[in-house]
Structure 1
Amino acid sequence: MAAAEIAAAAEEKFRGKLSASCIAVVVVLVGLPLWWKTTETYRASLPYSQISELDLLLLDISVPVEVVFARGTLTAEQQKKLLPQTQFSQKQNQLDGKTGFKYRYEKTYRAVTGLEQDAIMSKNVEGAVVTLSQVYESSAGLVVIYVVPADSQLLPDEVTVYIGKHRACFLRSPVTGSHSVEDVLQDIDDSIEEILQTMSFTDDMVVAALSSRVPSGTIGTDSLTASTTAFKSSLGYEITFSLLNPDPKSHDVCWDIEQAVNNYVQPFLDKLSFVANFSVDSQILYYAVLGVTPRFDKTSSSFSLTEDSLPHVINPVEAKLGSNVASSYPVLNFLLYVPEYSHSPLYIRDSSGSPVESNAFHSSRWGGIMIYNVDHQQLNETRLPVPVKVDVARVMEVFLAQLRLLMGIQKVQPPPETVIQSPGNMVVTDWETDRLLWVRTVENIATATNTLTSLVQLIDEIGNIVINDNIASEVYSAVASVQRSLQELEAGRLMPAFQASKKAITSSEKAFFDPSLLHLLYFPDDQKFAIYIPLFLPMCVPIVLSLLKTGMDCKWRRKVD
């Protein structure tokens, strides 16, 4: 009986040890991996190597140029040696260790066609511009230079270069029959270089577009000014026209802003519709003052705002503008201010004390303000309030000039003996649009690469960030779009390069600002332990004690044996 009980007790003790061992094995081999897998932060795979390559950005830009020789500009021997021919001239600018750019002009020399020659033979240069634009449809980024004979009557005698409103210009030939082919190329290239600096981008423009990637100390003053005047590239802009009437008891102001926008602003926005989406709204604000007391000038019996006081005008006014639509797009504010009766007339004066002709000023990356004076004599002779009908043509002329600057269309200073055709109803010329596209494409690429590299750095520094499949898809799309845009720039295809850069901006910002990135950001590891320890500790204590007891028994048996 005693032997049977001892055997049963030993068997029971063995089963207990076996159970504890099996539970420990299951916990270690199954429980821990399962717990680790189900509680880990999910991160989809990202193209880290490709993003690191994009962090080293060396742009390669190709500008296609066609040089077309009209009849009578080259001798038969010169034409035989020179046409057709393609040449390249390349320049490089390394901004820092990670960022730089190089660009080359791909110049193709050819003879004029019959239809082009007929247009050049006319004595009306503006008509020739229209005819050539209909005969020869040029792509974005292309510059066409027509070399006309030195005695051509197409250009006035004092004009050497005439830049049309499309993508073509006329150059009076500096070539004579005694020139060799090398001399011809040298003389033509000197003139072409000046034309391209006007009709295409410049070094300063590209440097300004890359300013987000380069330390501020490495950027020159001219480039920095160009980069801070215009708004940064965006997928959309909101334009707000505001009429400020601080003294409605004296002035009953009305303006036909809807017709003014349709007649003057909308053609400009339609021309840039492929660059970004635009929305326009307007408002009238009463009792809204500038916040700066103007000075009275006894000599002119008028009030004035000095150049130093203009920066203090914007903040008090901006607080009253508000916003009709909640949007993440930048807002361009254009304010028309009718001075109150006690401060009329009011003029803006420059540093020398002279009145500014437009009586307006603009603020970088914000908008513009124009002061609209009412006839002082009318105020004295008419019962108040005086009805005031705004001359919207004069106002919109000023606002359009400011809008061009804020959108990055800088005013070009032509070289001597150069005439630039007015855009007329086009509002903005084709080559001005191309200049803007070159800059915006480079700026989009720089912004997208910055966003992608910042996202990778954020992921490396914070382990709790979740990367779901949607974010990974957007990252892959952004990387592919940047690479495609770089390839298109290298091939000289401006419009496809710009469209790809817009896609890169959209995808990279969707990935970087995705709300799911913050799901576990405020759930650190110490909180995880605070949750899991009360759950697993009561279960693990008896298992660990059983394993310790089993180990001690095994050790005691070895000593006995």
Structure 2
Amino acid sequence: MPWALCLYIVVIAGVGLPVWWRTTTIYRASLPCELLVAPTGSESDQLPLAIQVVLDPALLLDAQKRPSAEFSVSDLERALHSQAHEHARTLSSKVAFRPVVSVITTQTNERIAHTIEEMARALNANSNAGDGHLSTQKIAEQIDPPYFFAANMTPGSGTVFVVADARLPRIVVGSSRLLIANLFPSAAATEPIETIVARVLFEQMADVGATSLSYDQPDDTLAKQAEQNSGDALRARRTFSTASSFEVLFTLALGAGSSSSASSSYWDPRAIYAALRPFLAAVSVDDAPTVSSQIIYEAQPLVTPTFDKKLNAFVLRPDQLQHFVNSQDWGLGFSTHNNPVVNLLVFEPPPELRPLLLLDATGHPAAQNGFLIPRWGGVLVVNPTADQAVELSEICSVLLAQLRLLMGLRTQRSRMTELDTVHVLLPRQLAGLTDFEHDSLLRSRWLEHLASARHSLKSFCQLLDTIPNMVVSDELQRKVDVARAAMGQANSAMQRNALHEAYSLSKRTAHIAEAVFFDSNALSLLYFPEDNKYAIYVPLFAPAGLPILVAVVKALRQWRAAAAAPSA
């Protein structure tokens, strides 16, 4: 009997329990969570800023008037490294830049010879022009050659042409990846030309969007950032987060008594979309946005404007604007997809409330009579009269300015450090986006995609630590390895200054990381409570365990009885 009991226990303990443990254990493939949670060096690595300096005597027309005027490449390098160090010290910056300066001439780059010849011819052709703003704009546009940059410049780089011309501003920022540094000093110049060039280059080339800087930052860090750099904090609140695609909804809201026939002079959705299409195509990068339009009649705002006798108009204060849009009654904010919707609303108030002016923080009428709603869209208030109609071009220009801010771009005026010495050319083809800004937008989305991917993988690892019932299959392990490999490839592409490739790889990384977090196989046993385990396992172990327990108790009794019996 004891030997049979021992054999039975050995079979159950040595065979039954291991088989049960093996067949019921939740499979978890090995994941490098410590590498996924810790930074891999992607955002903290220094990103290259390739800067080429063109020095050629043919562009120094007025240099003989200032024999001491010269441009020092070594001073420019020191100024750029100083700007990079200052940029890396800011709380809002998670990216460090490494300036790479090279000098190109007609001897080192034959293809630039034709460009220098064309620029010198443009300067000489306008040598008798006056010093007015119109001639400055004309000369600057003529020496901003698009054909050279389209053929020879790569995204993420910039070229500095050093000239000497008394008619030009101190700095001219081209619509292409071009910056013209004028050695001829102006009365407003208080700094060396190399220092100004370095600062303007960083403003144009190293401006990453604020939305990509808020991932994985604790609340106290964001609070300090908001205190020390309120501009970036404001951009982070109003900018739409990066998505594969987005929708644009044009809305005309007519107040009670407003006639739709009167608004036909300025409301043409097709014309508005045609004007904004180049910008939308540039900021969407790879997926064209979905565009729709609607007209709302009898629109009534949620706030009532007050009449200002000094302005002889109805006004709304800044604190009232947050309650201006009546989204529920106006039918706004609805979408047939999961993509974010950018609302661009034009409101025509009722005739009895015209003119309706929006006041700024100082109590004066806003310049464009419009305002932004963070991560929702923009609103423009128009006041057509019988004598003066609203121009369609004005509508398009205001909507374009609002779109720039909603996409995380700065206004050109905020980018110009010295308005008297820096002249920024308008973007080509009315796209509303310069090549410098397009490069910064790609960097911002690269950073945001990688931050989103790391955030998803970090959250998945935290779930693994807190929920032991989560399954980690080999397929899930493969997805994590693919995400890590794509993240490394995106970092390598950015180090090579291949912005489009880096953006595509970072977008793929974010999609794979999101698929890992929402993997259906990992959620199969996620909500399997402990009570269910006991309800399942007790009926299985009771029939096998109860006979063993009875036999053990019986054997103990026999052993005690045998031990208590007197020996013969």
Is TM-score (shorter-chain normalized) higher than 0.5? yes
2:240 matches 1:228 = no
Aligned counterpart, 1:485:
490
The 3 A distance-change label for structure 1 pair 468 and 376 is farther
Partner of 2:14: 29
2:100 paired residue number? 106
Matches within 5 A, 1:135-214: 136-148=151-163, 150-151=164-165, 157-173=167-183, 189-202=194-207, 205=208, 209-214=212-217
Where 2:324 maps in the other structure, the secondary structure is helix
Q: State the AA in 2 paired with 1:476.
A: D
Alignment check: 8 A CA contact 1:119 1:132 kept:
no
Aligned to 1:89: 81
| One-letter amino acid of the counterpart of residue 313, structure 2 | S
Provide closer, same or farther for how the CA distance between residues 30 and 328 of structure 1 changes in structure 2, counting only shifts above 3 A: farther
Structure 2 equivalent of residue 534 of structure 1? 539
Task: Tell me by how many angstroms 1:403 deviates.
Answer: 0.5
Aligned pair 1:457/2:462, yes or no? yes
Q: Classify the secondary structure of the residue corresponding to 1:212.
A: coil
User: In 2, are the aligned partners of 1:485 and 1:501 still within 8 Å (CA)?
Assistant: yes
Distance 1:531 1:50 in 2: 38
How big is the shift at 1:405? 0.7
Query: Does the 8 Å contact 1:345/1:376 carry over to 2?
Result: no
2:114 aligned with 1:115: yes
Cross-structure match for 2:250: 241
- Give 1:365-514 correspondences, 5 Å limit: 365-375=375-385, 391-412=391-412, 413-414=415-416, 415=418, 416-425=420-429, 426-514=431-519
CA contact (8 A) 2:446 2:506 kept: yes
- CA gap of 1:34–1:391, structure 2 versus 1, over 3 A, is farther
**2:421 partner letter:** E
Contact 2:247 2:289 in 1 (8 A): yes
Check 1:174–1:299 CA distance in 2 against 1; reply closer, same or farther (3 A cut). Answer: closer
Q: State the shift of 1:293 in Å.
A: 0.7
- Once the two structures are superposed, the pairs formed by residues 26-105 of structure 1 within 5 Å of their partners are 26-54=11-39, 58-72=44-58, 89=81, 91-92=84-85, 93=88, 100-105=94-99
Cα distance in 2, alignment partners of residues 33 and 66 from structure 1: 69
Letter in 2 for 1:126: E
The one of 273, 283, 288 equivalent to 1:272 is: 283
Deviation at 1:20, TM superposition (A): 4.9
Residue number in structure 2 paired with 1:179: none
Name whichever of 414-423 and 547-556 sits farther off. Answer: 547-556
Task: State whether structure 2 residue 225 is matched by structure 1 residue 216.
Answer: no
Structure 2 Cα separation of the partners of residues 250 and 487 of structure 1: 58
Counterpart residue number, 1:386:
none
Q: Describe the SS at the equivalent of 1:241.
A: strand
- Give the deviation of 1:145 after TM superposition: 0.8
CA 1:200–1:344 in structure 2 vs 1: closer, same or farther (change >3 Å)? same
Q: Deviations over 1:505-545 (max 9, x none)?
A: 21112222334443322212232112221332133211332
Q: Match of 1:292, SS?
A: coil
**1:394, distance to aligned residue in structure 2 (A):** 2.4
Assess, with a 3 A threshold, how the Cα gap between structure 1 residues 34 and 277 changes in structure 2: closer, same or farther. Answer: farther
Report SS of the residue matched to 1:272: helix
Q: 1:120 to 1:132 in 2, by over 3 A?
A: farther
Q: Would the alpha carbon gap of residues 511 and 61 (structure 1) be closer, same or farther in structure 2, given more than 3 Å must change?
A: same
CA distance in 2, matches of 1:337, 1:133: 44
Q: What is the CA distance between 1:107 and its match in structure 2? A: 0.4
**Cα contact 1:43–1:467 (8 A) shared by 2:** yes
Greater alpha carbon shift after TM alignment, 118-127 vs 448-457: 118-127
CA distance in structure 2 between the aligned counterparts of 1:525 and 1:460, rounded to whole angstroms: 17
Change in CA separation of 1:351 and 1:225 when aligned onto 2, cut-off 3 Å: closer
> More displaced, 369-378 or 438-447?
369-378
8 Å CA contact 2:55, 2:105 repeated in 1:
yes
User: Which ranges of structure 2 fall in alignment gaps of 5 or more residues?
Assistant: 107-111, 123-138, 186-190
Task: Give the superposition deviation at 1:368.
Answer: 0.6
Is the contact made by 2:44 and 2:96 (CA closer than 8 Å) also made in structure 1? yes
Q: Deviations over 1:456-515 (max 9, x none)?
A: 112111112223344333322222222222333334333332222222221112222334
The amino acid that maps onto 2:222 is S
Q: Which has the higher strand share?
A: 1
Judging changes above 3 Å, is the alpha-carbon distance between structure 1 residues 325 and 31 closer, same or farther for their aligned structure 2 residues?
farther
Relative distance call for 1:115 and 1:530 in structure 2 (3 A) is same
Query: Structure 1, residues 280-334: CA drift from partner, whole Å, max 9, x if none?
Result: 22222233311111112345553221222111213x3356434553433222111
Identity %: 27
Greater shift in the superposed pair: 100-109 or 53-62? 53-62
Amino acid at match of 2:31: L
How far off its partner does 1:137 sit?
2.6
Instruction: Confirm or deny: 8 A CA contact 2:211 2:241 kept in the other structure.
Output: no
> In 2, distance between residues paired with 1:31 and 1:257?
78
How far 1:369 moved relative to its partner? Answer: 0.8
Please say if residues 346 and 380 of structure 2, whose CA atoms lie closer than 8 Å, have aligned partners that are also in contact. yes
Deviation at 1:435, TM superposition (A): 1.8
- Once the two structures are superposed, residues 34-81 of structure 1 have per-residue CA deviations (whole angstroms, 9 ceiling, x without a partner) of 222332223233222421432776232111111111225599xx99x9
C-alpha change, 1:300 and 1:337, in structure 2 (3 Å) is same
SS at structure 1 position matched to 2:323: helix
2:308 & 2:536 partners in 1: Cα distance?
75
Alignment partner, residue 259 of structure 1: 270
Between structure 1 and structure 2, the one with the greater Rg is 1
Match of 2:352 among 334, 342, 347: 342
What is the CA-CA distance between 1:244 and the residue it aligns to? 1.4
* CA distance in 2 between partners of 1:303 and 1:548 (Å): 95
TM-score by length of 1: 0.81
Which of 333, 356, 371 matches 2:366? 356
Alignment-derived partner of residue 384 in structure 1: none
Q: 1:401 Cα shift?
A: 0.8
Query: Using a 3 Å threshold, how does the CA distance of structure 1 residues 537 and 326 change in structure 2: closer, same or farther?
Result: farther
Question: Would you say the 8 A contact 2:305–2:314 is kept in 1?
Answer: yes
In structure 2, C-alpha distance between the alignment counterparts of 1:157 and 1:127, rounded to whole Å: 14
Contact 1:67–1:107 under 8 Å retained in 2:
yes
Q: Deviations over 1:160-184 (max 9, x none)?
A: 2221111112212369xxxxxxxxx
SS in 2 for 1:157: coil
TM-score (structure 2 length as normaliser): 0.80
> Residue 524 in 1 paired to residue 529 in 2?
yes
How far apart, in 2, do the equivalents of 1:101 and 1:126 lie? 33
1:3 maps to what in 2?
Answer: none
Q: 1:293 aligns with which of 274, 288, 304?
A: 304
Instruction: Quote the offset at 1:556 in angstroms.
Output: 5.8
The answer on whether the counterparts of 1:59 and 1:100 sit within 8 Å (CA) in structure 2 is no
Stretches of structure 1 that go unaligned for 5 or more consecutive residues are 1-13, 176-185, 379-388
Question: Which residue type is aligned with residue 33 of structure 2?
Answer: Y
Going from structure 1 to structure 2, the CA distance change for 1:250 and 1:232 (only over 3 Å counts) comes to: closer
Q: Which residue of 2 aligns with 1:327?
A: 337
For 1:374 and 1:295, the matched residues in 2 are separated by: 19
